[in-house]
Structure 1
Amino acid sequence: MPAADAPISERALARTYDPPSYSDPFEAVEDYREVMAYASKHPSKGSSAIASALELPRGRIRPWLDDSKPDVVRGIETARDYGWLETGFDDPAFTALNTLVANVFSGGSIEQTHYQPSFALNHRGEDSHVLDALELAGVDYQVVADRDGRADEVRPSDDASVLGRVLSVLGAPVGPKTDQHLSLPTYLEHAPASVREQFVYSYLENRAIEHDGKATLTVREDRNRDYLEELVALIDHVAGGRVALRERNIVVSADAARSLGTSSGDVKLE
């Protein structure tokens, strides 16, 4: 991603889809737009004439002329309507998306086949910051409770697949995290301090373990070593030092926790 900003491009989002007959999913978007532009300029021409003029199969474009759209086109249009495409680091929409990416890593998942995201509610229950993030992103959601002893979960109720795809473009893992070699999103390397801080606060709010009589925090993660080292470096940078990796435990010292301004990452979204 460019150092100056973190846009979610149409092309990157398109490549989370798998339209038939296209090796590059974005070519389906370009063909659709070319067909619709041509049809708009030549309203008297039917599908056969348009297909011939543009050298495209008639069977492919005929549904488009009957108001059908490829899923990839619909997904791009949906993401644009929400304000998720080409959003900058300082946009409220990116604040929401960054927070949701952190929540996928620290307490959520994206289903592998249809990109449906879900997020576990943390110790704050229905005051969890992930609900604020979904609202800031403009997404309706439902809370799923009574999950056989597991934490309550929140799931987007509309356009979930598009949101999941957008989060994956930003670097959120898709599918079971235990089966993957994880790495933090690359946009964090170039992001301003506020974005990195928001990611860390969101992560700690979900994963930090407090200790009686101590301000020290511990994050226990059974993940690949280089991911843990990346995460330690990020938290250490945001806290101004005094964060260490011990075996599989990330230890945030009392001084570091105080530097973060809270013992467990009091996440605020604006």
Structure 2
Amino acid sequence: MLIGEHFRDVRYSQNLTQKEMAAGIVNRSFYSRVENGSSSITVDSLMKILYKHELSITEFLHDFGNAEPKLGVYQDKITAAYINKDIVALKEIYFHFKYEDARIKKLLQFLIDELNGVATKKQFKQLNYIFFKQNKWDEETLWLIFHIMGWYEPDDLQNLIDVIIKKCNREETTDRMKQLMVRLAIRYLDICVKQDRNDDEVKEIFTLLKSLPNTSEMRMYKIIAVYYDKLFHHQYDEADDIAIMLKNM
């Protein structure tokens, strides 16, 4: 099934028109062509449409008829708002959050403070302690770590990524955990590029990403890995070409 068919199924389940589904993101005629398979939608627009209608990208890719408001939906909404630096959206989620989860509530406040430029190292340390005090390496913990990775000291972050890869790269790992692990790996590469670091952990992550299955979702992550590989080898023109291709996917 194509992306356009997926969108149509989800839209029907939400009882939305094409105009309502695409409003504020792409125009109706373009969206109609996406559903019909005659036009391709960018990853950015795809995420924004799912975010707008409170749909999890995981659910979209793996269970398209299911649009119930699960915790994963809130997680993806928070991640999208954080990546887009949307403080208003994060505040809206904070004040209307439906789950009694102290870790996520504290993370939301931290992310709001970070985007406002007032987050502190003390807040980060408190979050880190809360995340790990139960010593649980589950989907939620991996999702939580993703948002505070930039606050770790380089060696601490390297050790953390090493532990995550060893603990999560197992047969019993869920699809959601594998996806989160890949997101963590990609963000680690981004941090290392910005810090001009190219250590053994980076090489291991590239090996991991190259071994990902050729599913529609994982293929995008593999392309992103090639993009960072070009950056690490200072092949900036080729990296720019890949970046343009990713924007047009």
User: Structure 1 length as normaliser, TM-score?
Assistant: 0.29
Relative contact order: is structure 1 or structure 2 higher (C-alpha 8 Å, sep ≥ 6)?
A: 1
More strand by share: 1
User: Structure 2 length as normaliser, TM-score?
Assistant: 0.30
